[in-house]
């Protein structure tokens, strides 16, 4: 049994997101079911999977958790008996604040955690792209880690992946898989999307999985797509194109252990010279 738990199938759903929330939810549910039928034990949805991505859309599509979208995800996780990383949705709290939030569900349909995006996407690349999430969203303030029978998993959302410290802290907490639902764009996507994932993977000797929405050239924000899974060696083991699809990867925790044994950076760190610590535990 122990040997079996060192190996599991991960599925990343690259969903085509429309302006119709009900359609997004039902198509996501169908793809989760398909992934489970193909042996996936953990399924990851894309960032902002129930709504178009944009500061103008967040207030319009925002929901409480629990709410309509989280209810559908809870039922989908339960019916397919999978761990479900629910991409992200615009969340409204009781005080009216909005967050970019990833709810995670267990195979029994329970809400395991919700990760509110820590680092807001505020960038300005002249002549290419300007985007300011902080115009409508507030940042989260917790690290988000959950346990499965296979391994511990750390959760970030999109821009969170640029911050190596977060991945290091997750690794320090015992995570062997990091998941980042994310919607990079046509400027940052080709430049940094794969590079960042491979960097986070090789720095921490962990698996890294990203889930992007499918590319829609007619949308106001065009996602890069190319949802990916990277091994602890920094190798791309699964990658989508730009269309709607589900990509699979077999996560081999014995392989991860071998990589860490061969290049034992964790034991070789000079904690007498430097360290990365969480200020606030989450």
For the annotated catalytic residues, the residue numbers are 47, 117, 158
Q: How many CB atoms lie within 10 A of CB 220?
A: 10
Residue 132's contacts (CB-CB under 8 Å, 6 or more residues apart) are 55, 121, 122
Q: How would you label 241-251 residue by residue, b for 16+ Cβ within 10 Å and e otherwise?
A: ebebbbbebeb
Locate 39 and state its tokens: 């042996």
Report residue 125 as tokens.
């690349």
Cα–Cα distance, 226 to 14 (Å, whole number): 8
> Residue 11: is it exposed, middle or buried by C-beta count within 10 angstroms (0-12/13-18/19+)?
buried
- CA triplet 133, 181, 244: central angle to 5 degrees? 110
Reading the block at residue 259, the tokens are: 């990589």
Please give the Cα distance from 178 to 1 (Å, whole number): 24
Q: 117 with 139: CB under 8 angstroms?
A: yes
């Amino acid at each position: 049994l122990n040997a079996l738990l060192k190996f599991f199938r991960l599925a990343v759903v690259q969903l085509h997101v429309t302006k119709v929330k009900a359609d997004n939810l039902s198509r996501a549910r169908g793809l989760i079911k398909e992934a489970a039928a193909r042996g996936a034990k953990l399924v990851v949805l894309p960032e902002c999977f129930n709504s178009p991505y944009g500061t103008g859309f967040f207030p319009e599509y925002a929901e409480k958790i629990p709410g309509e979208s989280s209810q559908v995800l809870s039922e989908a996780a339960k019916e397919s008996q999978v761990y479900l990383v629910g991409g992200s949705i615009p969340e409204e709290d009781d005080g009216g604040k909005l967050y970019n939030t990833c709810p995670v569900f267990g195979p029994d349909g329970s809400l395991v955690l919700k990760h509110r995006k820590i680092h807001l996407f505020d960038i300005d690349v002249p002549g290419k792209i300007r985007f300011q999430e902080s115009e409508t969203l507030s940042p989260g303030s917790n690290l988000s880690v959950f346990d499965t029978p296979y391994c511990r998993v750390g959760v970030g959302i999109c821009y969170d992946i640029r911050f190596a410290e977060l991945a290091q802290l997750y690794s320090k907490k015992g995570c062997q898989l990091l998941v980042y639902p994310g919607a990079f764009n046509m400027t940052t996507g080709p430049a940094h999307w794969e590079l960042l994932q491979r960097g986070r993977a090789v720095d921490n000797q962990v698996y890294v999985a990203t889930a992007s929405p499918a590319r829609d050239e007619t949308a106001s924000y065009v996602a890069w797509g190319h949802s990916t899974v990277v091994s602890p060696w920094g190798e791309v083991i699964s990658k989508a194109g730009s269309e709607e699809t589900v990509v699979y990867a077999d996560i081999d925790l014995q392989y991860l252990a071998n990589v860490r044994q061969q290049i034992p950076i964790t034991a070789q760190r000079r904690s007498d010279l430097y360290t990365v610590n969480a200020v606030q535990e989450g």
